[in-house]
Amino acid sequence: MDLKYELYIGAKPEDVWQIFIEPEATKAIFFGSILKSTFEIGAPYEYIGPGNDGEETVHVYGTVLEFETNQRMSYTEHPGPSYRENHAELETRITLTLETVGSCTKLTLINDQWPENHPSYENTKTSWPMILSNIKTYAETGKALDFGW
């Protein structure tokens, strides 16, 4: 059930990394949401943006497990409280790794540790390719993709 994606981006790892942590970039690739965290191991994080609860909807949240600037980030992930009543039980893990390959960056994303019958699995399986395509496009062009939403 693990979800694993690998792609190559025509940008430096530090430029790709910034997309994951800088508010303007996260807004562009994560559908208007920003990432709030201190990024210390054990610290909480939240992706917050427009949604079910207005402008401050918590879309996903969790705990930072690893954080090596420009290289690796791992965290637990739960759906936001307005999405699932049992959100606290629905924990998965996401690990992002960036490696230099020639003059580009290899991004590997693994979303694993899925509980059996997780109600968001199929939707997540579909949304990761969209988000990763958006990251690649944003890193290479400075513009996000228009998905028509």
List pLDDT tens digits, range 34-72.
999 999 999 999 999 998 888 899 999 999 999 999 999
Copy the structure tokens of residue 108. Answer: 């590997």
Residue 114 near residue 131 (C-beta atoms within 8 A): no
So what's the pLDDT on residue 53?
A: 86
- Rounded CA-CA distance 138/90 in Å is 30
Model confidence over 79-106: pLDDT tens digits?
Answer: 999 889 999 999 999 999 999 999 999 9
Q: pLDDT class for 147, splitting at 50, 70, 90?
A: confident
CA angle (9, 91, 147) in 5-degree steps: 40
3-141 maps to CATH 3.30.530.20: yes
**pTM, full prediction:** 0.92
The pair phi, psi for residue 138, each rounded to 5°, is -65, -40
- Rounded CA-CA distance 8/128 in Å is 15
DSSP state of 148: -
